[in-house]
Amino acid sequence: MSNEHKITMLGTGLIGMFYTKTLHDQRGRDRVHLIYSRNEEKAKQFAKEWGIPGWTSDMAEAINDPDTDVVVIGLPNNLHKQAVLMVAKAGKTVLCTKPLGRNAAEAKEMLDAVEKAGIFSGYLEDLVYPPKTLKALESVKNGTLGKILWVRSRETHGGPHSDWFWDIEQAGGGAIIDMGCHCIEIIRNFIGKDVKPLEVMCWADTQVHPIEAEDHGIGLIRFENGAIGQFEASWTFRGGMDIRDEVAGTEGTIWLNHFLRTGFEMFTAIAKGGYVAEKTESDTGWLFPVGDEVHELGYTTMFADMFNALDNNKAPMESFYDGYVVNAIIDACYRSAKSKHWESVDLKEWRGEIKVVETSISATDPDEKYILIKKELMPDGRTKLILKEKKSGKIIQKVNPSKTK
Ligand SMILES: NC(=O)c1ccc[n+]([C@@H]2O[C@H](COP(=O)([O-])OP(=O)(O)OC[C@H]3O[C@@H](n4cnc5c(N)ncnc54)[C@H](O)[C@@H]3O)[C@@H](O)[C@H]2O)c1
């Protein structure tokens, strides 16, 4: 089944623009038909630019509009809860940008509200939807990489574009809540969303900007099956926006590069203006444009998943529950950055596996005398075996005389 949806977009800032561009550029059925901005002039101007028939500076009017069936929230973090609760009351579909809340308590309230109202909701975490990430996830799910041991996800740039991000009260934190939330959900997807995050160790500091929140944070997340997630989020990085993921398994590795090095490199000696890519710092010299940014960052596939799920009465890939888990991990990060200790992830409700047994290190026995630690292919084609003698525990190496390739 495929319906045509009438969307109210809340917010005319960067994400309101990216979301509208995604929905309107592809000649899709689902269109923004009402835009809300607290500033009337801005709402009017945005409506004109994107061919939106209605505009308003009244949020309640925007949500309760009788023609609207889907509300997309693209407002600053401190307004997510208020907007979600209003949509739940109106009984409409709600799609909310990241982070879901400023903390897990807010996110839980939002989760409870949509579930109580029985409405469809989706967490707009675009960075698990880039086409290459979806393909990488498919490989991980079918076991191509073996057991996932370590996922590293990084998002860094020179700092956000609007005032409210820099205010700890409105944003709920700094670089970790803003960008670490992407990395954490990417990590969860690769390790398995059914695997419980147990505890975190996090460093956070304010290295450059005169603000209360952190402008740089690095964290480790330990999962119940022994896997480790590592995120790096920074507002101090120079040279544009760096978004990279690395997945390491027992049988393979994946590296993903979403920005700066995407295979499109351009040099220009003259500044002619024009858009290069989000957070680019320069318009001369070597530039790294991104072809179709909304597609390469996952917005297109994200909205397709959300609307397909809505029409087919299925759960989307990213739910409010996922947003809540991300917030709970971030809360633990902030506690750890203060205490300088591992802090447990406090999940009021866990919907994944109850107990994932940590898989023990598998010992391969080449014969009854030895346990195989590592097999290595040598430059001359022979194989070297690193072995542990079972009886003595002594570690030795043996080179097979014949070439095995
Ligand atoms: N990749 C992503 O998913 C992504 C990227 C950027 C931003 N975001 C998220 O989108 C949200 C908005 O970020 P943005 O980059 O669009 O910010 P922005 O500053 O560019 O836009 C924010 C919008 O909210 C409006 N606004 C600000 N204060 C308001 C208030 N008190 N009442 C009503 N409206 C108000 C502004 O006028 C503007 O239209 C944030 O939650 C942010 O984390 C997500």
- Is 111's pLDDT higher than 60? yes
CA of 34 to the centre of ligand 1 (A): 17
**Whose alpha carbon is nearest atom 15 of ligand 1?**
14
| Neighbour count for residue 339 (Cβ, 10 Å) | 11
With helix as H, strand as E and coil as C, how does 325-348 read? Answer: HHHHHHHHHHHHHHHCCCEECCCC
Q: Which runs of consecutive H residues, i.e. helices, occur in 118-155?
A: 131-141
- Assess whether the C-beta atom of 300 lies below 6 angstroms from ligand 1: no
| DSSP tag of 300 | H
- The mean-pLDDT minimum among 298-307, 314-323, 363-372, 391-400 falls in 363-372
CA dihedral 280, 284, 290, 292 (to 10 degrees): 100
Query: What does the pLDDT read at residue 361?
Result: 66
Euclidean distance between CA atoms 191 and 85, whole angstroms: 32
Whether the ω angle into residue 99 lies within 30 degrees of 0, i.e. cis, is: yes
CA of 304 to the centre of ligand 1 (A): 22
Q: Same topology for domains 6-127 and 128-297+316-344, yes or no?
A: no
Question: If you average pLDDT over residues 169-189, what whole number do you get?
Answer: 98
Q: How far is CA 310 from the centre of its chain?
A: 21
pLDDT at 357: 61
Q: Is the CB of 20 under 6 A from ligand 1?
A: no
Residue 405 has pLDDT above 60, yes or no: no
State which of 14, 157, 165, 326 you would mutate to test the pocket of ligand 1, scoring each by most atoms of that ligand within 8 A of its C-beta: 14
Mean pLDDT of 307-335: 98
pLDDT score recorded for residue 358? 61
Mean pLDDT over all residues of the chain?
95
Residues 38-64 have a mean pLDDT of 98
Going by C-alpha positions, the residue among 335, 326, 102 that lies closest to residue 193 is 326
Residue 344's pLDDT band, with cuts at 50, 70 and 90, is very high
In ligand 1, the atom with minimum distance to the C-alpha of 297 is: 1
- What is the pTM assigned to this prediction? 0.95
pLDDT tier at 187 (50, 70, 90 boundaries)?
very high
pLDDT interval class at 262 (50, 70, 90): confident
pLDDT reported for residue 404: 54
3.40.50.720, 3.40.50.10490, 3.30.9.10, 3.40.50.150: CATH of 6-127: 3.40.50.720
Q: Whose CA is nearest to atom 36 of ligand 1?
A: 13
Least confident residue range of 88-92, 160-164, 269-273, 328-332: 269-273
For domain 128-297+316-344, which architecture applies? 2-Layer Sandwich (3.30)
> Has residue 364 got a pLDDT over 90?
no
Distance CA 142, CA 145 (A): 8
The DSSP secondary structure of 177-195, one letter per residue, reads: IIIIHHHHHHHHHHH-TTS
- Could you tell me the pLDDT band of residue 209, with boundaries at 50, 70 and 90? very high
Residue-range domain boundaries for the chain: 6-127, 128-297+316-344, 370-403
Rounded to the nearest angstrom, the distance between the alpha carbon of 80 and the centre of ligand 1 is 10
Indicate which atom in ligand 1 lies nearest the CA of residue 125.
3
Residue 162 Cα, ligand 1 centroid: separation in angstroms? 8
Distance CA 182, CA 122 (A): 15
Residue 315, classed as helix, strand or coil, is coil
List pLDDT tens digits, range 275-315. Answer: 889 899 999 999 999 999 999 999 999 999 999 999 999 99
Other beta carbons less than 10 A from residue 393's beta carbon? 8
The DSSP code for 176 is I
Q: What's the pLDDT band for 192 if we cut at 50, 70, 90?
A: very high
For residue 403, pLDDT over 90 is answered with no
Residue minimizing CA distance to atom 40 of ligand 1: 76
| Tokens, residue 278 | 């989000």
